[in-house]
Amino acid sequence: MSERPTGTEPLRLMAVHAHPDDESSKGAATMARYSAEGVQVLVVTCTGGERGDILNPAMDRPEIKADLAAVRMEEMAKAREILGVEQQWLGFVDSGLPEGDPLPPLPEGCFGLQPIEVASEPLVRAVREFRPHVMLTYDDNGGYPHPDHIMCHKVSVEAFEAAGDPDRYPGTGEPWQPLKLYYHMTFHQERFQAEHAAMVEAGLESPYTEMLKRWQDRPLQWEITTRVPCADHFDVRDQALLAHATQIDPNGPFFACPTELKKKAWPTEDYHLARSLVDTELPEDDLFAGIREKVCLS
């Protein structure tokens, strides 16, 4: 039998991400809030982001390009310290984002080409070691169709469903069953419409006009079930994003809307509850709704 939480153990949250910087652009304020409240938070990073591009012109230098993997590891170390979380690498190699028509094949040995059992085994091990009550990941489209994001979704669902089964993934530790699995719902029309309106009202030029036109009549694939209030930690999120200096341009789209306006326009980070083994009433404002009754903070 797998273990389930009982007694007075601390709450634990695991966020599974494809690349370094993903944890700072999706759910970062949520993690910072829960960490500040005493929840143990672990970010699991599936790949090293080795095939990523340098997206900040100020960092586009030959010496950085020559050792991008090491630079991104240093950036991740800074970001996790800012967020107040633990972090673990799974050790897979970035697949890159294929471009062209037709799309070229993915590089041999990359994360996106791993058999599901191979890609999931270290995550199952991590779940059994950390013993999270809640897991965060991407939806089945990866949030956007990057092969590593899609594989991240697959291994997260596999680990959620397999980690509690003593007959699966033998040799990876004592079984542990997480209680809830959420998908990030970070980038959606309702949020950007609110930020757009706030900028227009403040007399600022909104960068979202064309994007919102493209998004007209595009329904959400997944219902937002859970909105976590975390505006007090948006500044921490900004700092964590900026720690990923090769990936985040301080003059780029992540900072187009001033943080103070974001706090007023959209003070939550949003999720879809994809799996739950506890009773909870939707909509929620807490990832641990239905779990706090079972687990008391020590």
94 is in an annotated binding site: no
Q: Nearest-CA neighbor of 272 among 211, 225, 240, 230?
A: 225
Cα distance between residue 78 and residue 243, in whole Å: 6
Helix 116-130 / helix 147-162 crossing angle, nearest 10 deg: 60
Cα distance between residue 250 and residue 242, in whole Å: 7
Phi, psi for residue 243 in degrees, rounded to 5: -65, -25
Q: Nearest-CA neighbor of 28 among 240, 272, 244?
A: 240
Strand partners of residue 272 = 183
19 is in an annotated binding site: yes
CB atoms within 10 A of CB 155: 28
Amino acid at 264: K
188 is in an annotated binding site: no
| Chain center to CA of 126 | 16
Q: Nearest-CA neighbor of 114 among 15, 214, 46?
A: 46
For 147, 256, 296, the CA distances from 51, given in Å and listed in that order, are: 12, 26, 42
Amino acid at 12: R
Numbered residues of the known binding site for Zn(2+):
19, 22, 149
Numbered residues of the known binding site:
19, 22, 149
